[in-house]
Structure 1
Amino acid sequence: MRLAILLTAAALVLSACSPPAEIEARDGYVRLAAVKGRPAAAYFTLHGGASDATLMSVDSTVAIKSEMHESMKAGAGMTMKPISDLPLPAQGTLAFTPGGKHVMLFDVNPGIKPGAVVPLTFTFTNGQRVDYRARAIGAGDPAPEF
């Protein structure tokens, strides 16, 4: 009996250390636009599952349109270019951060205010979808600490 309990406990400890089999989204938030009519921006980190995947879109039911973009330096300023898809390696990470990759959310529902939940759906080329609930923050608010 004692051996069975020890083996069960060991199995639970080892399973807790194993990487997730599914893709997870974490540390997400949406910075609302400072000016009415301008897009909001979504930031988050994706953690890969057991196999490689390719992110092809990020959508929200509270925005009319969304686009993945990447910011980059262009001379003395910054520019953005659209991204059609991005690889997410197995057990790897893919970060969308200010000044880098981000999702532009166009025509966000005006009822979304700081503190509201913004649903995001990540769609991968293999058909997998991951739903995530990000918190909205105001244009001048500091990024949340996770």
Structure 2
Amino acid sequence: MNARCAFLLAGLLFAGAASAGDAEHVAASRGWIRVMPGALPAGGYVVLENHGDHAVSLRSASSPAYADVMLHRSSTDTGMGRMESVDALPIPAHGKAALSPGGYHLMLMKAAAPVKVGDKVRVTLRFADGSTLDTEFEAKPANTVDGGDMPEMHHH
């Protein structure tokens, strides 16, 4: 990591700490992305838990590993699978919201460099009040059904 990058990172972390807001009440867990072949967009999934007393709203996300990250929802109300972009994902007070295959998810587009299975990708989640939460997503194979298979299960 070069000095400029480290400096930028320190600046980002400081900025995040300065704006104590919705993000500090939210815990992210089980973040993973489905790595697709070629230049196809990857899907990002995570479980967000809100420990605060008021509902918060996830508005957007960004990642240094991808040029563009969008919040999407898959809907199959018409029996046709389609995706629509959404402006916000509400997380109820003392509740949780899951970004999962077939529901809300992040679309990570135009990888800066090829993301390989096993890579850790940093994603910054931004909430309605402007506060941010840095989350680590693990890259998993395209055929993963649910990222919930925790790695500690695989002891040989």
Q: Pick the TM interval, shorter chain.
A: 0.7 to 0.9
Match of 2:112 in 1: 109
TM-score relative to the length of structure 2: 0.74
The offset of 1:74, in angstroms, is 5.4
Write the distance in 1 (CA, Å) between the matches of 2:60 and 2:29.
Answer: 16
Q: Identify if the C-alpha distance between structure 1 residues 29 and 78 changes in structure 2 by more than 3 Å, giving closer, same or farther.
A: same
Distance in 1 between residues matched to 2:84 and 2:121, nearest whole Å: 24
Q: What amino acid does structure 1 have at the position aligned with 2:45? A: Y
Q: Which amino acid aligns with 1:130?
A: L
**Which position in structure 1 is the counterpart of 2:85?**
82
Shift of 1:76: 4.2
**How far, CA to CA, are the matches of 2:130 and 2:51 in structure 1?**
14
Between the aligned partners of 1:49 and 1:141, the Cα distance in structure 2 is 29
Q: How does 1:32-111 map to 2 (within 5 A)?
A: 32-34=35-37, 36-50=38-52, 51-73=54-76, 75-111=78-114
**Of residues 139, 142, 146 in structure 2, which corresponds to 1:139?**
142
Is 2:124 the counterpart of 1:118? no
Query: How far off is 1:72 after superposition?
Result: 1.1
Cα distance in 2, alignment partners of residues 143 and 52 from structure 1 = 26
Runs of 4+ in structure 1 deviating by more than 3 angstroms, as ranges, are: 141-144
1:41-94 Cα deviation digits (max 9, x unpaired)? 000110003132111112111000011111111544300110011221221101
Higher strand fraction (1 or 2):
1
| Bigger radius of gyration | 1
Asked if the contact 2:33–2:42 (Cα under 8 Å) also holds between the matched residues in 1, the reply is: yes
Give the match's secondary structure for 1:77: coil
- Gaps in structure 1 of 5+ consecutive residues: 1-20
User: TM-score, normalization: structure 1?
Assistant: 0.78
Letter in 1 for 2:139: A
Q: Distance in 1 between matches of 2:47 and 2:86?
A: 16
RMSD over aligned Cα atoms: 1.6
- The 1:125–1:31 alpha-carbon spacing in structure 2 relative to 1, beyond 3 Å, is same
Partners of 1:138 and 1:28 in 2: CA distance: 14
Task: Report how many aligned residue pairs link the two structures.
Answer: 125
